[in-house]
Structure 1
Amino acid sequence: MSALSRRTLLGATSAAAFLAALPFARTALAAAVAATAPKNPLRVVCIDYATLDMMRLWGLEDRIAGSAALTSVPFLAPLPAGLPVTGGLKDAPLEKIAALKPDLIVITGRLARLEKEIGAIAPVLLITPDQQNGALASYGTNLLTVASLFGKADAANALIDEAKKRVAAIRERAAGKSAAVLMANEGRIGMLAPQGRCSMISAEMGFANVVPPRKGPGPKKGGPKPDAEAIAKANRKTLEDLKRLNPEYVFVLNKDIAVGRTPVTDYRAIFGAEWDALPAVKAGRATELSHAAWYLGEGGPTAMNLMLADIEKAVGIR
């Protein structure tokens, strides 16, 4: 048996085992639900796209008292007419939120630093994906967490089962295949490690990330931005690494597009003909991801559908 066929067989076997092992996500519910979250809340402020997505899908729009703006999240737009907007995912205008008289406020990790202040207005539920310990399991836990408040456990379980089956099918196709995941951000183009952003592509979908796992803490946020020379040097290194590592698949996440920022990093223009000459690109195996879904909306069912569809298309399932 060839090495490739052995890998493919192992991938199919591991996909079945993977599918069977995932129900542990459901047992994590008790730990994930905030103890103070009220059951059956009638006025929910969603500063979290995933919860907004769930509530709309489950016919609970009339309970949404306010929402973060959907400026760069086209797959959830438009908001219901007249619905108050609180700002962005990182914004917490306390007076504006208090004026909405919520009985529950749902936030993401981007506002965790203000959880105490927001909690003085109403109970707070923190919903955030856990990339390092399993984005798919985290998706299930978060679905069930929100569903438990509204008696929607059956609907949540159906979504979890569908996602698990689709991921298992991707795993079979991805067995033995290498991949690079790029992120473009303000002129910089880098390769992402298996942990963190887009970790589902390797950890759950089964691609072998050509970048080794990161050791130690990740890069610190908020430091000084590199100058043009440093950016050009780093981008050149990314291109040389791509040529050297020669991944069979390339996935591109553009943060600029995801957050609605201009100018948008054009990696094709930066890399030029050398990008087009990469074997994965020449073979049609370079895929632009649904940027806002992967960067901002992950954790919601509509975003998950887009994320899975991106990879299904890349491996020829659809």
Structure 2
Amino acid sequence: KYESVGGLKEPDFEKIAELDPDLIIIEGRQSEQYDEFKKIAPTIDIQLDQKNYMESFKENTEKIGKIFDKEDAVKEALAKIDDKVEKANKLAKEKGGKGLVVLTSDKQISAYGSGSRFGLIHDVLGVEPVDKNIEASLHGQSVSSEYISEKNPDYLFVIDRSAAIGEKGTAKEVIENEIVKSTKAYKNSHITYLDPGYWYLSGGGLESVSEMVTEVENGLK
């Protein structure tokens, strides 16, 4: 149904030029190649500002809505997402407890906190971080099962990078070992395996943000 124009970080510029687009929309993974895209057609970069997630997301969405004359539809969709965010915050406050967000890649575990690429859970949806000192880097802070056990989160949110890039998903076997099973999150069935497609590949869109909020809300119930 769709033409292949290369990988997320390695676009096929010749193929893109052949398609003769009127507009090219890129995001974070292609941002460094903005000038190359611009040679082919007008290009806009909708990279998210992780420290101002919702403001950045809304600005990007409204920009696209204006370009395609879908401003009313965008306004309606954003209002629904605002309502979902408000409900998730209310639930997080009612439930209390602290959360931890980790990404697994093969057997490696990285933790993400406020201001990070997955900081939406803390900064927008109101889940208090179990560790306020996680460095907000692109690849997260390398951690171990012992770290997770020591921090003992009430809620553990897991993103499986291997599954996101088309490899065999290994998150459950990496996370659910005897050490992590000592946590409140495991004992109370509050380990949530988030959709890696939305969280790792395509966050920041009307569909993805809506589904991401739903997943976190369900994880808190």
Common topology (TM > 0.5) = yes
1:107-256 alignment, distance < 5 Å: 107-133=26-52, 135-175=53-93, 176-214=96-134, 218=137, 238-256=144-162
Task: State the Cα distance separating 1:219 from its structure 2 match.
Answer: 6.3
Q: How far, CA to CA, are the matches of 2:129 and 2:79 in structure 1?
A: 26
Residue-by-residue CA offset, 1:63-104 (whole Å, 9 max, x unaligned):
xxxxxxxxxxxxxxxxxx3x3221222122111111111111
Work out which of the residue numbers 160, 185, 189 in structure 2 matches 1:280: 185
**Contact (CA 8 Å) 2:107, 2:174: kept in 1 or not?**
no
Contact 2:54/2:124, CA 8 A, preserved across alignment: yes
Larger RCO: 1 or 2 (CA < 8 Å, sep 6+): 1
Distance change (3 Å), C-alpha of 1:182 and 1:220:
closer
In the alignment, which of 251, 254, 257 is matched to residue 163 of structure 2? 257
C-alpha RMSD over aligned residues:
2.1
- 1:312 deviates by 1.8
Task: For residue 261 of structure 1, report the CA deviation from its aligned partner.
Answer: 2.7
The 3-state SS of whatever aligns with 1:143 is helix
Residue 315 of structure 1 deviates from its aligned partner by 2.2
Q: CA deviation at 1:105?
A: 0.8
Q: 1:299 aligns with which of 192, 204, 210?
A: 204
2:215 match: 310
Q: Which runs of 5 or more residues in structure 2 are unaligned?
A: none
SS state at 1:85 partner = coil
Which structure 1 segments of 5+ residues have no match?
1-80, 222-233
TM-score by length of 1: 0.64
Secondary structure of the residue that 2:5 maps to in structure 1?
A: strand
**In 2, Cα distance between equivalents of 1:163 and 1:86:** 31
Show the counterpart of 2:194: 289
Aligned length: 218
Q: CA deviation at 1:123?
A: 0.6
Q: Letter of the aligned partner of 2:68 in structure 1?
A: F
TM-score scaled by structure 2?
0.90
> In structure 1, what is the equivalent of residue 4 of structure 2?
85
CA contact (8 A) 2:97 2:155 kept: yes
**Is the CA contact (8 Å cut-off) linking 2:159 and 2:171 kept in structure 1?**
no
Percent identical among aligned pairs is: 28
Q: Structure 1 272/220 Cα, relative in aligned 2: closer, same or farther at 3 Å? A: closer
